[in-house]
Amino acid sequence: MAVVKYSEKDIIPITLSVMSLSVMTFAEYGFKSALEGELRDLKPLVGTEITDSSAFELLDGLEDDVSKFVIKSIIKIDDYITTFRVMYNVDLETLFEDKRIQKIADNLYDDLFHYADSLIVKDVRLALEELPLTVANAFFYLCKMMIHHEIDTKNVLEDGMHRNGLEEFEFLDTSNNNVALLYDLINEMLRLNEEICFIYSNGNNNSLPETG
């Protein structure tokens, strides 16, 4: 894909839309994980009608570490969505009804989350383990959009947080308040990536590391 340029007035709406889509992805992956574990008895009964809100409610009632991790991740992103929404007086319901913005955000989301979406059909655990890093990578590209008003998603993994983008992220210009906010959230996602790896490596037990 070629470099995509974005109008300045669209940047915050697109950012909020992609962040919201990442919340939905956490809910989706968490629910699929629960169907392999705590909710396995429901698996034969569950069709395609599950929504991110109903998935959240189901996960919120579970006590296993993975489900609690998913809820924590969703709440973390939601807190930052609220901050942006209040800062820019954005009504999310109105935003989600904007077909033009949602089409742009959906296309960007598809490019940024393609790696995770390809994993979930093969290995739920691996997909969920990788998801915080995928989200961190997506938010890194949103930072680049805020700074340069453009994104090149040709090599999302190689040029992002998985490889070459790590050094660029470390020295990212955070003088822009929006970039500074996302920079902090990216670090939160990186800590959550370490946490889910810890959970799985310790057999999904009840001893979790501190993540702030």
Q: Domain limits of the chain? A: 4-201
**Residue 122 reports pLDDT greater than 90:** no
Under the banding of pLDDT at 50, 70 and 90, the label for residue 52 is low
Q: What is the pLDDT of residue 50?
A: 56
Q: Is the pLDDT score of 13 beyond 50?
A: yes
pLDDT tens digits for 178-200? 999 999 999 999 999 999 999 99
The alpha carbons of the chain give a radius of gyration, in whole angstroms, of: 17
As a whole number, the mean pLDDT across the chain is 87
Q: What is the pLDDT at residue 204?
A: 55
What digits encode the pLDDT tens for the residues 131-173?
Answer: 999 999 999 999 999 999 999 888 887 788 877 878 889 889 9
Judged against a pLDDT cut of 60, whether residue 208 lies above it is answered with no
Pairwise CA distance, residues 59 & 210, whole Å: 21
pLDDT tens digits, one per residue of 72-96: 999 999 999 999 999 999 999 999 9
Region of 89 (left: φ > 0; alpha: ψ -120 to 50; beta: rest) is: left
- Decide: helix, strand or coil at residue 200: helix
Please give the pLDDT value at position 77.
Answer: 98
Give residue 211's pLDDT. 45
The rounded percent of the chain whose pLDDT value lies above 90 is 58
Angle at 66 between CA 65 and CA 67, to 5 degrees: 95
CA distance 73 to 8: 28
Structure confidence at residue 121 (pLDDT): 79
Mean pLDDT on 105-132:
88
Q: Given a cut of 50, is residue 212 above it in pLDDT?
A: no
